[in-house]
Amino acid sequence: MSALIDNLLWYSIVSNFRQNCLSRIGEGVDSSIEAARRSLRAGQIVAFTGAGISAESRVPTFRGADGLWRNYSPESLATAEAFTSDPHLVWEWYDWLRGLIHAAQPNPGHLALTELQRRNPKGFTLVTQNIDGLHERAGSHDVVKLHGDIWRLRCTTCGREERNEQVPMDHLPPLCRCGGIQRPAIVWFGEMLPEAEWERAVEAARQANVLIAVGTSALVYPAAGLVKVARQSGALVVIVNPDPTPADDLAEWILRGPAGEILPRLL
């Protein structure tokens, strides 16, 4: 019965958003959506998501006008040097950000990707640059997280990792059982991507028949290079973004609009 209710809820969401956005998206996009939809019926699919899909759930982006905290930019706080200099200040920011993410809800774009994975359990890979966990909350699983997970902590002394979903946190900065200071288990500016996750993402891009780039600026490397890897390996590329991106030249179809409107229509 719960599965039936979930399906009815899903189709209700899709139907409502389809009706709401038909008047907002032109016929040219309609035909591109239909062509892109046909391409998803067979083969390996990779969805590559960036901050734009989370911004639709009101998670602030690094580059947006809402991406500032007090008098600091995220770029000045999301570094190992900033953490070493003032771990309490850096953790104040992440505690604030975790609170915003905790209050956010997955949007129809996240739900559409979950449904796409359900329909293609062996032929779908979800790769994300996002650290917020909204894909999992929407029901996606086995997500390839290139930039880590804000809900995991890593000890700077012993390296032990653990999950922590306290909002707000009890103590800043949080401490490991060994007494060491914990940091967010995410990739900061100047740090390498996790090797295993990156290798999974590259291999998926090479094997893809279709890569859907959703809400990514295509500016942050090496992650943004996945679009080129997929294209050079013969994949069709679909760009879903309200604004132009440097990856547009690689795309077979460019679907201008929010992920929450476009992705449900691809189903």
Per-residue pLDDT tens over the stretch 185-207: 999 999 999 999 999 999 999 99
- Could you tell me which residues come within 8 angstroms of residue 24 by beta carbon, excluding any fewer than 6 positions away? 257, 261
Name the residue among 208, 255, 214, 203 with its Cα closest to residue 231.
208
Predicted TM-score (pTM) of this structure: 0.86
Predicted local distance difference test score (pLDDT) of residue 13: 45
Predicted local distance difference test score (pLDDT) of residue 47: 98
Helix (H, G, I), strand (E, B) or coil at 36: helix
CB 95 within 8 A of CB 172: yes
Q: Which residues of the chain have pLDDT under 70?
A: 1-28, 62-70
| Residue for token pair 């190992």 | 80
Predicted local distance difference test score (pLDDT) of residue 72: 77
Predicted local distance difference test score (pLDDT) of residue 69: 64
Domains of the chain: 1-59+105-147+193-267 (3.40.50.1220), 64-103+150-186 (3.30.1600.10)
CB 239 within 8 A of CB 49: no
Report the number of secondary-structure helices (H) and strands (E) in the chain.
11, 9
What is the rounded distance in angstroms from the CA atom of residue 155 to the CA atom of residue 97?
20
DSSP 61: P
Q: What is the DSSP string of 188-237?
A: PTTPPPPHHHHHHHHHHHHH-SEEEEES--S-STTTTHHHHHHHHTT-EE
Active site residues: 147
